[in-house]
């Protein structure tokens, strides 16, 4: 049973402990240590008394804070009931919870917090059980061909279906043009990409096994982080010997940072620099609280070995594995720039606002590429989030699928 308000109070209590109490204690310790060191050995007795008193004070503050959090959380559960979900009852509330998961979703899951998002097939804002009855109720007109949609960091599956005047969602267009049934997935984007890849592999196996009709073909469409999760899932599922990868004919990545994003690299570098002084190391720890999913975006890690043994104290930690594409699967990487010409200095520097063109195209620093040049498509004058429903983007997806359809027919 999940009480979302109670869980939110617990998140607030944990944040207060780590951000306020922890930061204050660390800064206090750093400043006091510098003062005592400047005095020398004569300060030893005073330093001993000070440290004992400070430790006792911060322990007492933590105990009081923890007690208040526990009492508040318990009171809310009593007053509202064990199962109360006011946050995820609305679209805005679901978006807020997904944003929270993007930033600290790994910590939420580790704590068993009710706000941690489980990976699931979604329909009309609720989870769909991946059994035959649940899928029959959710998908009244199932076809033999599926289009699986994966959102990006801190997003929900509803971003694919946002109301925009004059723009029909990609899922509806794929159903109209190719008979593909759209299936939307929601996941905790704060977890490691490789963990979400494994979970997606398991979920799609259950989906294919329980789908009301035999699945003959699958198309994976991922926006931003979703494209990386899709690639990771294909690799993990093939390694584990699952059956669904044999149905995948296309993988479309929209603005996915295959070789990382500048913002995460900058945050990592800032945290590294802040550790140079004891007085600023507490600020580095705050930056280090960002989720595993965000940290994976530094270089686009897809498998466990990429991030395992990660050392926050090192300026760079790039150990990306070479993840091959599925046999028989056509990969299409769609890149974008805010400028019409990708060679424009602003377009080259800023990309689509969040992801640079080189990363979305899979160009590595050593000159190698993730996919051949003919599998990369560029769209100009488009932002990162416009990729979710822009007509030019869909035109390229349709062209790719139609070309393959003609090839199969011939």
Q: How confident is the model at residue 277 (pLDDT cuts 50, 70, 90)?
A: confident
3-state helix, strand, coil in the chain (%, to 5): 55, 15, 35
Q: How many helices (H) and strands (E) does the chain have?
A: 15, 8
CATH number at residue 354: 3.40.50.1820
Tell me 325's DSSP state: P
User: What's the pLDDT score for residue 317?
Assistant: 67
Q: Per the domain annotation, does 269 fall within a domain? A: no
In a domain, 315, yes or no: no
151 in Cβ contact with 186 (< 8 Å) = yes
pLDDT for 163 equals 65
Same domain, 128 and 81: no
- Domain co-membership, 125 together with 218: yes
Q: Quick one: 342 and 402 in the same domain?
A: yes
What DSSP state is assigned to residue 84? B
Residues 35 and 164 in one domain: no
Write down which residue in 85, 112, 146 finishes a domain. Answer: 85
Q: Is position 299 within any domain?
A: no
Q: Are 79 and 148 found together in one domain?
A: no
Residues 75, 125: one domain?
Answer: no
| Per-chain mean pLDDT for the chain | 92
Whether the CB-CB separation of 21 and 60 falls below 8 Å is answered with no
Of 85, 107, 128, the last residue of a domain is 85
Q: Are residues 148 and 211 in the same domain?
A: yes
Same domain, 75 and 127: no
When pLDDT is averaged across residues 342-364 and rounded to a whole number, the result is 93
Full residue range of the structural domain in which residue 197 is found? 120-260+321-409
Q: For 283-311, how does the pLDDT look when each residue is reduced to its tens digit (9 = 90+)?
A: 898 999 999 999 999 999 999 999 987 77
| Sign for the pseudo-dihedral over CA of 404, 405, 406, 410 | positive
Model pTM score = 0.94
pLDDT tens profile 327-342 = 999 999 999 999 999 8
355 and 242 housed in the same domain: yes
Domain limit, last residue, from 58, 85, 112: 85
176 in a domain, yes or no?
yes
The Cβ-side half-sphere exposure at 139, using a 13 Å CA radius, reads: 28
Q: What is the average pLDDT across 236-256?
A: 97
Looking at the domain assignment, is residue 211 inside a domain? yes
Residues 59, 147, single domain; the answer is: no
Most confident of 38-42, 129-133, 370-374: 129-133
Look at residue 284 and tell me if it is in a domain. no
Residue 27 has phi, psi (to 5 degrees) of -65, -45
Query: Do 33 and 179 lie in a common domain?
Result: no
Give the span between the Cα atoms of 111 and 88, in whole angstroms.
19
Q: Are 43 and 139 part of one and the same domain?
A: no
pLDDT reported for residue 292? 97
Give the pLDDT of residue 167: 78
Helix or strand run (H / E) with residue 9: helix 4-15
The Cα-based distances of 244 to 203, 208, 215, 218 in angstroms read: 10, 7, 9, 8
Question: Mind listing the pLDDT tens digit for each residue in 101-131?
Answer: 999 999 999 999 999 999 999 999 999 999 9
Domains of the chain: total? 2
Domain membership of residue 70 (yes or no) is: yes
- The verdict on residue 9 lying in a domain is yes
Residue with tokens 């035959």: 132
């Amino acid at each position: 049973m999940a009480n979302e308000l109670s869980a939110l109070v617990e998140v607030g209590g944990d944040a207060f402990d780590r951000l306020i109490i922890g930061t204050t204690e660390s800064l206090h310790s750093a400043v006091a240590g510098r003062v005592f060191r400047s005095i020398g050995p004569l300060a030893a007795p005073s330093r001993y008394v000070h440290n004992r008193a400070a430790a006792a004070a911060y322990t007492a503050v933590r105990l009081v804070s923890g007690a208040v959090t526990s009492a508040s959380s318990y009171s809310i559960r009593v007053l509202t009931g064990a199962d109360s979900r006011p946050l995820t009852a609305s679209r805005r509330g679901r978006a807020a919870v997904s944003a929270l998961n993007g930033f600290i979703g790994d910590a939420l899951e580790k704590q068993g917090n009710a706000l941690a998002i489980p990976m699931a097939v979604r329909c009309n804002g609720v989870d769909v059980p991946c059994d035959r009855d649940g899928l029959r109720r959710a998908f009244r007109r199932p076809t033999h061909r599926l289009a699986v949609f994966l959102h990006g960091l801190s997003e929900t599956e509803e971003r694919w279906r946002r109301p925009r005047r004059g723009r029909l969602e990609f899922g509806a267009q794929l159903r109209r043009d190719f008979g593909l049934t759209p299936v939307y997935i929601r996941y905790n984007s704060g977890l490691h990409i490789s963990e979400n890849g494994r979970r997606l592999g398991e979920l799609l196996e259950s989906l294919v096994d329980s789908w009301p009709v035999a699945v003959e073909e699958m198309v994976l469409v991922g926006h931003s982080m979703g494209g990386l999760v899709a690639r990771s899932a294909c690799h993990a599922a093939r390694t584990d010997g699952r059956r669904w990868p044999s149905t995948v004919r296309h993988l479309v990545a929209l603005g996915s940072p295959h070789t990382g994003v500048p913002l995460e690299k900058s945050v990592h570098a800032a945290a590294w620099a802040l550790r140079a002084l004891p007085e600023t190391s507490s600020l580095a720890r705050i930056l280090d609280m960002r989720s595993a999913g965000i940290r994976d975006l530094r270089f686009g890690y897809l498998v466990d070995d990429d991030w395992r043994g990660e050392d926050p104290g090192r300026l760079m930690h790039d150990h990306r594995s070479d993840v091959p594409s599925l046999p028989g699967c056509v990969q299409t990487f769609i890149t974008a720039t805010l400028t019409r010409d990708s060679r424009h200095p602003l377009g080259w520097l800023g990309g689509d606002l969040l992801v640079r063109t080189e990363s979305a195209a899979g160009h590595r620093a050593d000159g190698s590429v993730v996919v051949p040049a003919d599998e990369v498509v560029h769209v100009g004058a488009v932002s990162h989030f416009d990729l979710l429903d822009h007509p030019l983007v869909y035109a390229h997806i349709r062209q790719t699928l139609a070309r393959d359809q003609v090839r199969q027919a011939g």
